[in-house]
Amino acid sequence: MTTAPPTAPGPSPAPAGPPVAYVLRPADDALIAAQRMAQWCTNAPQLEEDVALANIALDLLGQARALLTHAGGLEGRGRDEDALAFLRDEPEFTNVQLVELPNGDFAHSIAKLLFFAAYQRLWYERTAAARDPELAAIAAKAVKESTYHLDHAATWTERLGDGTEESHRRMRAGVAAVWPYTHDLFAADPLAARLAAEGVGVDPAELRPEWLATVEEVLTRSGLAVPAGDWAPTGGRHGVHTEHFSLLLMEMQSLHRAHPGVTW
Amino acid sequence: MTPAAPPTTSPRHPQDPPPVPAAPASGETGATGTAGGTGAGSGPPPPPERGGAGGEARLYAALARVHDPEIRVLNLAELGVLRAARIGADGTPVVTITPTYVGCPAMDVIRADVRTAVLAAGYADVRIETVWSPAWTTDWIGPRARAKLAAAGIAPPGPRPPGARPSGAGPDGRRLLPLSVAAPPCPRCAAADTEEVTRFGSTACKALWRCRSCLEPFDHLKEH
């Protein structure tokens, strides 16, 4: 599936005002990353890693809950975190495609985590100084967690990249497979750019140089390199997703939709 | 339920603009600090050990019986999760808590336990508020609480490394982040020769370590 980004400016996908849409981006990133990461539970290569990945997923889910709750509050139409997570349809999700990609083998998932955590850390770090105090407070907490995730991913990248022939091959393959989707993180985003210009938001495009430096440092010390090639599927921020996304959503939302309002 | 609250009762919602640093006389302010200072300095106020005003003493006494569900040896105040407790203008106790990690799964249990404890102390109702800022840090765990942790076989967190602002390469240009600190001594035999088994332990806030001397594994509350 090639998902060409809409070249026209394109309307904002969220029905509500810009701040809500702006907050939904990182909320959806965290939510979908958490859901995907949680699929490693009971499947990781060793028990310790099982616990680690589950904990990382839990951190991401916590971030998603806080951000979704905040977005619902900004919107002011009574949608809570559950309504936003479970009752929106595919085109309404504005997460990057990177986080919805299938887990692949362990090295694939580590590559995803490396790239995503490096991005999240920068975004949260900048957002911790944002004008919206609630958003800033969430970011100030979350940045510590992303830092930890990044360190975990970097450690594994080095261990695999600088390990055996087989582990190196797999890590390199993982990086190569995931890399094209990293561009979506920094794709031009008129809404974010406008908010950044007004001093209330972060323009992801501005984060890329520092992100690249971090990622490149890790790859280099792991005996790997930044992949060549310029295929850059984008569109997540506009609600355009890969074919893997609907299956993930179906699994995530089915219980809530079958039993509306259920608690446990 | 909203019993016709006059606007003077300061709802203290997180969306409100950062509070004016109020007169620091009573220990009940300072729950919602400003969000600006991320991690850099160790500025946030220490957790309240007990209530300032007399009317809150009973409330704090009730809350002292609420322990963290995953670290049973510490109560919420000792852990730093309890940020403030006061009697609201309508007479309802207001308890302010902050999560250790954003996704800490214990928060729901903590809320339920707080409610149970406060109602058991004779109050008719309780309002529980959650604040994100200032972000919780292990630096809020005091010496007495650290001793309790160690006595329970959990190596307490060390001080966070200076300038633990998460960014960029470390001083040697290789360590990505100044995350880790000196190895904690074994809480059982006090040997210094310990090693990390895994950074993600039995709960989000703990890592699993092992003592090379007595060979026993132990939990370590991570610096955060």
Q: Would you say residue A162 lies in a domain?
A: yes
- Regions in chain A scoring below 50 on pLDDT: 1-18
Nearest Cα of chain B lies from the Cα of A10 at a distance, in angstroms, of 30
In this structure, which amino acid lies at residue A240? V
Interface pTM (ipTM) of the complex?
0.70
pLDDT in 10s for each residue of chain B, 224 residues: 334 433 333 333 433 333 333 333 333 333 333 333 333 334 444 555 444 555 788 999 999 999 999 899 999 999 999 999 999 999 999 999 999 888 788 889 999 999 999 999 999 999 999 998 888 999 999 999 999 999 999 999 987 765 444 433 333 333 344 445 578 999 999 999 999 888 888 887 889 999 999 999 999 998 88
Q: What is the pLDDT of residue B161?
A: 61
Inter-residue contact A201 to A130 (CB < 8 Å): yes
pLDDT in tens, A27-70: 999 999 999 999 999 999 888 899 999 999 999 999 999 999 99
Q: Would you say residue A37 lies in a domain?
A: yes
The count of structural domains within chain A is 1
Q: What is the pLDDT of residue B181?
A: 57
Check CB contact of A150 with chain B, cutoff 8 Å. Answer: yes
Q: What is the pLDDT of residue B158?
A: 84
Residues from chain B contacting residue A150 (CB–CB below 8 Å): 176-177
Q: How far apart are CA B156 and CA B144, in angstroms?
A: 11
Q: Would you say residue A7 lies in a domain?
A: no
Give the domain extent around A142.
18-258
Residues from chain A contacting residue B199 (CB–CB below 8 Å): 52, 148, 152
Q: Would you say residue A187 lies in a domain?
A: yes
Q: What are chain B's domains?
A: 44-138 (3.30.300.130), 179-224 (no CATH)
Check CB contact of B11 with chain A, cutoff 8 Å. Answer: no
Nearest Cα of chain A lies from the Cα of B77 at a distance, in angstroms, of 19
Q: What is the pLDDT of residue A158?
A: 95
Q: Would you say residue A6 lies in a domain?
A: no
List the single residue in A49, A51, A128 with the smallest CB-CB distance to B35: A128
- List beta partners, residue B127: B94
Nearest Cα of chain B lies from the Cα of A6 at a distance, in angstroms, of 34
Q: What is the mean pLDDT of chain A?
A: 91
Between helices A106-127 and A133-161, what is the axis angle to 10°? 150
* C-alpha Rg value of chain A to the nearest Å: 18
Residues from chain B contacting residue A144 (CB–CB below 8 Å): 39, 135, 166, 224
Check CB contact of A73 with chain B, cutoff 8 Å. Answer: yes
Nearest Cα of chain B lies from the Cα of A198 at a distance, in angstroms, of 18
Q: What is the CATH number of the domain that holds A160?
A: 1.20.1260.10
Three-state SS string over B57-123 comes to: HHHHHHHCCCECCCCCCCEHHHHCCEEEEEECCCCCEEEEECCCCCCCCCHHHHHHHHHHHHHHCCC
Q: Would you say residue A9 lies in a domain?
A: no
pLDDT in tens, B177-201: 444 557 899 999 999 999 988 888 8
Q: Would you say residue A190 lies in a domain?
A: yes
Q: Would you say residue A250 lies in a domain?
A: yes
Check CB contact of A129 with chain B, cutoff 8 Å. Answer: yes
